[in-house]
Amino acid sequence: MPSEFGENSPVLEEAAPDTLEGAIRVLQDDGSVPPEVRRELPDSLACELYRWMVITRAFDERCMNLQRQGRISFFVTSTGQEAAHVGSAAALEPTDWIFPAYREPAAALMRGVPLRALVDQIVGNAADTSRGRQMPCHYSFPDARYASISSPIGTQITQAVGAALAARLRGDRIVALAYFGDGATSSNDFHSGLNFAGVYQAPVVFVCQNNHWAISMPVRRQTASDSIAIKSRAYGFPGCRVDGNDLPAVLRVTREAVARARGGGGPTLIEAVTYRMHSHTTADDATRYRNREEVEAWRRRDPIGRFRRHLVWRGIWSTLDDEALWAESKLAVARAIEEAERTPPPDVATLFDDVYASMPASLREQRDALLDYLKKRSTLRAP
């Protein structure tokens, strides 16, 4: 496999942060790819990754409807960015750590996290791993090595570097991968994390999903650099730009970056140029700050449609296959939602759990006082 990195790599030259200039691409418009891509991405894996993208889209669409119906309070979509995080997550080993931003639910599913667990978190029921204490879509699955999502922008970058260095000190040959958006490149944690990683040659991969908008801030106003990838030079390690809606290209560059990190070669910054098709969250209205023409132009580059054409080009996918997959995915999402909504909310007593490793007497007194008050209030209201 030819290297996509290097000191004189053309992907870092004469680019613009709000275009696809200089981005690595292997998928052609007709779905064809160079012969070596089929060797890198066998038919079985190609179909599996397509399934992850489709079920993520089906999950997005249904949860958006739930929020509009008032059944959940808030939702963050990943529509349009599926290839960027499915392709990169596929390059990791199960022992590697993922430090997500907001739009990487498929990376959790690919680690064996059930759909039901995602919905449990969104509705905040008793089965939620965060016990209903986090904002919706702020998943946490440490058993799957999928770190807790935090609202503050960019905090996961330094966390990933720390985890990577800790693993190296323990002698573990694992890699940490941090996802973040273009807006996070203006955060203090971006500089601190990349600088520390470069100095200590941490086994970490930084994947910036440049989706063109940090809420309402366009990327061309986020940075004066020719690209985000070029920023890696200041920290002394490679960077590359890739078409983030081209799954085989994302997989290729991430595999190389992961192998480099695991082999002691240090960090890599990958800029996956993609697009956020919906508003920032359900609490935002993107029609107030971006035009329809821009959105429609990116809709024509939809990663699911592009990869479906590729599977058809390979001769391993049909319209019937696609219809069956969408029906299966929608049914799986519907069942997960039904089960999660039947699950009761966390018991009020759990509010006091997980504050300390061992609950002190003062906290037990507060818990008992609250439970006693609730019991008395319930008795007073009884007929």
Instruction: Determine the Cα angle at 210 with ends 200 and 330, to 5°.
Output: 115
Active site residue 289: yes
Instruction: Determine the Cα angle at 169 with ends 180 and 236, to 5°.
Output: 50
From its phi and psi, is residue 14 left (phi > 0), alpha (psi between -120 and 50) or beta? left
Nearest to 103 by CA among 67, 130, 137: 137
Choose, from 85, 280, 306, 367, the residue flagged as catalytic.
280
Active site residue 280: yes
Choose, from 25, 51, 289, 290, the residue flagged as catalytic.
289
Count, in order, helices (H) and strands (E) of the chain. 12, 7
Distance CA 297, CA 16 (A): 17
Cβ atoms of 43 and 316 within 8 Å: the answer is: yes
Distance CA 46, CA 248 (A): 9
Helix (H) or strand (E) holding 239: strand 239-243
Active site residue 276: yes
Distance CA 216, CA 263 (A): 39
- For 199, 348, 373, the CA distances from 382, given in Å and listed in that order, are 66, 20, 14
Nearest to 110 by CA among 58, 66, 50, 154: 50
Distance CA 335, CA 238 (A): 44
Distance CA 101, CA 98 (A): 10
Dihedrals φ, ψ of 177, to 5°? -120, 125
**240 beta partners:** 270
Distance CA 5, CA 258 (A): 12
Q: How far apart are the first and last CA of the chain?
A: 75
Choose, from 252, 255, 276, 301, the residue flagged as catalytic.
276
Nearest to 319 by CA among 311, 62, 49: 311
Hey, which residues are catalytic here? 276, 280, 289
